[in-house]
Amino acid sequence: MDVLELRQFYASPLGRQVRRMLARRLAALPAPPVDARVLGLGFAAPWLDAWRERARATFAFMPAHQGASRWPADGAAATALVDEAALPLPDASIDMALVVHALELTPAREAMMRELWRVLAPSGHAVFIVPNRTGLWAGSDSVPFGHGRPFSRRQLERLLQEAMFTPVRLEPVLFMPPWKNRLLRGAPATWERLGRLFWPGFSGLILAEAVKQVYARRAQRSRPVLVPALHPVPAAPAGAPRDGA
């Protein structure tokens, strides 16, 4: 799934609905702090505009295996083609990250998570959007979320914890079916309301918000090591009798 296919999907009627629905859910999350440094990783650019107004700096990093497209449409480009396992950023330089179309598609999942942890500031937030293993969208090859590895809620939670993130929110997202029929995908707000109420385990996506863990390590006292002192016995003079002789 490359950047051209992703752009084509989000330009379609179904893709525009998904984009608007995700924008509403992201708008319900706590906004980045004023003067924050924000990173979008994967194909996150369609949702970064809402955060760019408050941020000191906003970057859209797109993995090399996907390809890159220009963002934003106005002003200087803030897009970079990167290796997600070696992000070109200093340690603790990012306050908030939005990860979309990245976690399920990367061939270097653990390395990418280590890099995200590295570049986030202490107590920095990261928002992940991934396909739900039990949802309809993960089984459809005609939509982007039908590619790569989907996650169950428990799998995603465990992945975050193993990468030293504390999950603070895991929510089901996208209950309308991944079909192009206008009648079946009509009234997306109704699909969301009914889905969250009656079948939350079958959402198309899972939205997770997590905080970087920073543990203070106690300074360990070095234990004294006892080294036996060796005192060599002087050699006996020639011809002198030995002990016990």
For 55-95, the pLDDT digits (tens) are: 899 999 999 989 988 888 887 778 999 999 999 999 999 99
**pLDDT for res 109:** 95
Among 98, 67, 99, 96, CA closest to 81: 67
* Per-residue model confidence as pLDDT tens digits over 94-150: 999 999 999 999 999 999 999 999 999 998 999 999 999 998 889 888 899 999 999
The per-residue pLDDT of the chain, averaged, comes to 84
Which of the four pLDDT bands, split at 50, 70 and 90, describes residue 182?
A: low
In what order do the strands lie in the sheet containing 94-100?
A: 79-82, 57-63, 37-42, 94-100, 120-131, 205-212, 165-173
Q: What is the pTM of this model?
A: 0.82
CATH T-level assignment (fold) for domain 3-212 = Rossmann fold (3.40.50)
Going from N- to C-terminal start, the domains of the chain cover 3-212
d(CA 61, CA 51) in angstroms, rounded, equals 15
